[in-house]
Amino acid sequence: MTLTKPKKIENKIAAKETLLTPRFYTTDFEEISKLDISKNQQEIEAIVEEFRIDYNRDHFIRDKEFSKTWDSFDEKTRNIFIEFLERSCTAEFSGFLLYKEISRNLKNLNPLLAEGFSFMARDEARHAGFLNKAMSDFNISLDLGFLTKTRKYTFFSPKFIFYSTYLSEKIGYWRYITIYRHLEKNPSYRVYPLFRFFESWCQDENRHGDFFAALLKSQEHLLNTNEARLWCRFFLLSVFATMYLNDLQRKDFYASIGLNAKEFDQYVIRKTNQSAKTLFPIVLDVDHPEFFLLLDKCSTINQKLSEIDKEEYSTIAKSIFKVPYYGKLIFTLIKLYLLKPIETNYIWAM
């Protein structure tokens, strides 16, 4: 019998929080518990029933391909992989905490929704755990308990949680499936076994998105009013812009798996926008000639902001230097928001 020397696993303190790092959210649990979901109860019940089947119960099992040593990765590749795993793990774990808290608070007041949220928390815990195990292949792990206690929680009202998590789940689905299909066609770029798991994994995210879609449909005023149209536009743009700015800062990671970050993001944005067409009264005109030009401008400004961060100025000096760039960024985002949207003619009524 051969004994392998146990690896020394360092506990990693989560990276510094910036505007674009995955956030932790909290909400008004009482307001959610009082929601009358009777208008779309059947669809919600059907999705909860699917969650109960638990298609991916046996999916997240590490096979022998993971036991290979990953020390052959050069320092740069290793670091970009760790960053990708850390950000993904934090985002999945943030979903777990939010869904778990909502479920706990709704237990006696709205059992159907409580059950739906607890199934989604189960899935996100699996995703976060699997990613954290993957980090240990690079001799590092995230202290999730520490993260829970020390991260700042952002308050979002329930309707904002519904719009933004619906879109995050759908964009997550498109990201995972696109990476999976690309590596299926180009196996030489599948440098680490995690990506093999994305096909079934992304179906979890797709079902979560469907749950939020069904929940939004049970609240007609969140889809049919003029106010709803403004919020749908706002959340589409913020979810798309956040991903675009984040990914274009991390081109090297996408290049390491043979993807062009810009092309990948533009494809994912188009697909998510198309998915939103089946729910939102309005979607963004991503084929408008200005749309990606303006997003590219935002990305260049964001690059400038991170360059200032890397300089050895004092914190006050950095903040002063950043002001004009923040001004330009906000101005460009407003221009994007004001581009004429596309009517989906989708009026939801039961």
Give residues with Cβ within 8 angstroms of 108, minimum separation 6: none
Alpha-carbon distance of 347 to 208, in angstroms, equals: 22
Minimal distance, residue 61 CB to Fe ion, in Å: 17
CB of 173 to Fe ion, least distance (A): 8
- Rounded Cα distance between 80 and 254, Å, is 9
Beta-bridge partners for 140: 10
Nearer to Fe ion, 127 or 271 (CB): 127
Least spacing, CB of residue 38 vs Fe ion, in Å: 25
What is the C-alpha R_g of the chain? Answer: 21
Q: In the complex, what is the shortest distance from the CB of residue 290 to Fe ion, in angstroms, rounded to a whole number?
A: 32
The nearest distance, CB 285 to Fe ion, in angstroms, is 27
Span between the terminal Cα atoms of the chain, in Å: 65
Within 225-312, residue ranges assigned H as helices are 226-249, 251-256, 261-276, 291-310
**Is the Cβ of residue 272 or residue 299 nearer to Fe ion in the bound state?**
272
Residue 115 or 169: the one with the smaller Cβ distance to Fe ion is: 169
Q: Could you list the residues that contact Fe ion (CB under 5 A)?
A: 92, 124, 127, 169, 205, 208
Residue among 94 and 332 whose Cβ is closer to Fe ion: 94
Please list the alpha-helical segments (H only) found in 107-225: 111-136, 144-150, 158-185, 198-217, 221-224
Contacts 24+ apart (CB under 8 A), 78-82: 78/138, 80/250, 80/252, 80/253, 80/256, 81/138, 81/192, 81/253, 81/256, 82/12, 82/135, 82/138, 82/140
The whole-angstrom distance between residue 296's C-alpha and the CA centroid of its chain comes to 20
Q: Pick between residue 12 and residue 207 the one whose CB is nearest to Fe ion.
A: 207
Compare residues 51 and 253 and give the one whose CB is closer to Fe ion: 51
CB of 261 to Fe ion, least distance (A): 21
CB of 315 to Fe ion, least distance (A): 35
Residue 51 buriedness (CB in 10 A; 0-12 / 13-18 / 19+): buried
User: By the 8 A CB rule, do 176 and 198 touch?
Assistant: yes
- Of 54 and 252, which has the nearer Cβ to Fe ion? 54
